[in-house]
Structure 1
Amino acid sequence: MAKQSRKSNPQAQMALKEHLREFRNRLIKSAIATLLCAVGGFFLYYPVMEAITDPIHQIAQEQNRNATINFSGVASSFDILVQVSLSIGLVLASPIWLYQLWAFIMPALHKREKLYAFGFVGAALPLFLLGLWIAWICMPTAVYTLTMFTPEDQANFIEAKTYINFVVRLLLSFAIAFVIPVALVAVNMMGLLRGRTILKSWRWVVVLVALLAAITAPGTDVLTMFYLMAPLLVLFFVAVVICLLNDKRRDKREAKIAEGEGAGADQATSSSALEDLGRDKA
């Protein structure tokens, strides 16, 4: 189906089937890219797995107790290999699926909005990687602190699948949390969510960010928790300011359009036009 130009379709309206078809195509491209990158993740599996399980080995050495990762099933080691490879593929393919997300949103934006949004969406990749990096640094502390409640003379034989799920969720939760402000700006640019609506939820955002930081860095050092909370809260409020400014600009533009339409509707009909109208009726 041929795409309509912005002049013939100024609102960039699409039928529901076209939206679903576009979403499906973008999703397929993202999935293919992730699977291809997962093949590369297969070769990185052993060094990554060694780095992930290193906190458990440190616990066993420093605390002089049994602590190890347990592969309980016959196929569990292969299942973990596939899961870790796919997770690595998701990270390696992040530039592609972030671009596909942007390409799906972009047709709904006007030219100026595209220019503004391009810079914000272009920040999604470094923010995603920044969230991964912070979570990776905090991961050993989280593992060490959460296992320190084990009673003396007891062992930690941690199921491999359970441990990998914990690490993957920890990494992805922080990575996605850092991208959420960019997503809020994109949704606002589409006109689906106003900045005041986002601002009203700031209390819940602060509570959730504090909870996430407390779980990730549950040590006694309050500064560590603050270092995790600060960038997330700063990004959120920067996104709110951008959304409020965009709403203000959009409201002014719509008011000018409405004012112009109203002026055209209130304009009196000239006498010559009335005479021509009378001739036509005759």
Structure 2
Amino acid sequence: MPSTADKTHAPAKRRKVRVPRRKKRDPEGRMSLGDHLRELRNRFIVALLAIVAGGVVGWIEYEPLLSFLTEPLRIIGRGQGWGEIGLNYQGLTTPFGLQLTVALWLGVIVASPVWLWQIWAFIVPGLTKKEKRTAVVFILAAVPLFLAGCALANYVLPTAVRVLIDFTPQHSWNLIPADQYLAFVTRFILAFGVAFLVPVLLVGLNYAHVLPAHIMIKGWRIAIILNFVFAAMMTPTPDAWTMIALAMPMCGLYFAACGIAYLIDRRRAKNRPEWADLPDERASEL
């Protein structure tokens, strides 16, 4: 019979530590509300970190970036014989705040593949595995369209700035505040980029069984009006050229989105079983 001392010094049995297993994803993409909120938080953090990383590049390359954004002013100054047109920095902390704003603006553009993918990946869990593979095509289309919109804005920007400066009365000085000018320029470029993403969003909604193609085609008149209203709001210039330069590509992309959505619905209808179209009160052959 073992003694009490032996029992005291006997090695204790090791308890198995259960490692929590990672919850498997539903193959059909079904998630609870809590899972959706956690997914949204994680996607937001990844997108924010990508923007901050791109902002570091913008902070380092701030001088050439500022020269690029103020190029329309120099073009106008040389054309009118005014010489160099400078920006007016008002306040002690204004230069620091503007450098931070411009850096983050570049971060949004540089990190566009990441945050566009995070937005789409948040929608992807509602799709099947086969549809998830096809969803990559939308990201490959969204990034070039966003960058193309930003490039078009850079092309139209000198005209918009010249039209606005021409409203300055003669024999007057227009001391342009740096914060107002850079806010206008950065929002102007981002507005063009976001506008070019709308067709991708429409095709995505169609692919997710939310927006049928026949509704998109039926409402083309309303879509054209909304495109021009959006262009007028996003281009705060009184000239019609700037508004048309944004609205016409948006209308073309809208009709392209209608065509792609029509092809998706047509392929979906071919693969649909015959009993799916039967009314609820009628029994199928199954």
TM-score by length of structure 1 reads: 0.80
1:190 aligns with 2:208: yes
Contact 2:56-2:103 at 8 Å conserved across structures: yes
CA shift at 1:124, angstroms?
0.6
Equivalent of 2:195 in 177, 195, 217: 177
Question: What does residue 41 of structure 1 align with?
Answer: 58
Question: What does residue 24 of structure 2 align with?
Answer: 3
CA distance in 1, matches of 2:99, 2:235: 26
CA distance in 1, matches of 2:38, 2:178: 39
CA distance in 2, matches of 1:110, 1:257: 21
Question: What does residue 274 of structure 1 align with?
Answer: none
1:258 aligns with 2:258: no
Alignment of 1:1-282 (within 5 A): 1-6=22-27, 10=28, 12-64=29-81, 67-210=85-228, 212=231, 215=235, 228-250=246-268, 253=271, 256=274, 258=276
Equivalent residue pairs, number: 262
Kindly provide the CA deviation profile for residues 210-231 of structure 1, in whole angstroms up to 9, marking residues without a partner as x: 45279488668x6x87665443
CA distance in 2, matches of 1:216, 1:82: 24
CA distance in 2, matches of 1:210, 1:254: 38
Distance 1:24 1:201, change over 3 A: farther
CA shift at 1:248, angstroms?
4.3
Contact 1:109-1:189 at 8 Å conserved across structures: no
Contact 1:139-1:216 at 8 Å conserved across structures: no
Distance 1:46 1:208, change over 3 A: farther
Contact 2:150-2:192 at 8 Å conserved across structures: yes
Structure 2 unaligned regions, length at least 5: 1-21
CA distance in 1, matches of 2:215, 2:247: 22
Quick one: percent identity of the two aligned structures? 37
Q: Look up the equivalent residue of 1:132 and give its one-letter code.
A: C
Question: What does residue 4 of structure 2 align with?
Answer: none
Contact 2:113-2:139 at 8 Å conserved across structures: no
Question: What does residue 18 of structure 2 align with?
Answer: none
Distance 1:115 1:241, change over 3 A: farther
Contact 2:235-2:243 at 8 Å conserved across structures: no
Kindly provide the CA deviation profile for residues 32-61 of structure 1, in whole angstroms up to 9, marking residues without a partner as x: 111111111101211111121122233334
Stretch moving more, 240-249 or 59-68: 59-68
CA shift at 1:113, angstroms?
3.1
Distance 1:193 1:153, change over 3 A: same
Q: Look up the equivalent residue of 1:133 and give its one-letter code.
A: A
CA distance in 1, matches of 2:115, 2:60: 22
Q: Look up the equivalent residue of 2:116 and give its one-letter code.
A: L
- Structure with bigger helix share is 1
CA distance in 1, matches of 2:40, 2:118: 9
Contact 2:203-2:260 at 8 Å conserved across structures: yes
RMSD: 3.2
Contact 1:105-1:186 at 8 Å conserved across structures: no
Stretch moving more, 60-69 or 178-187: 60-69
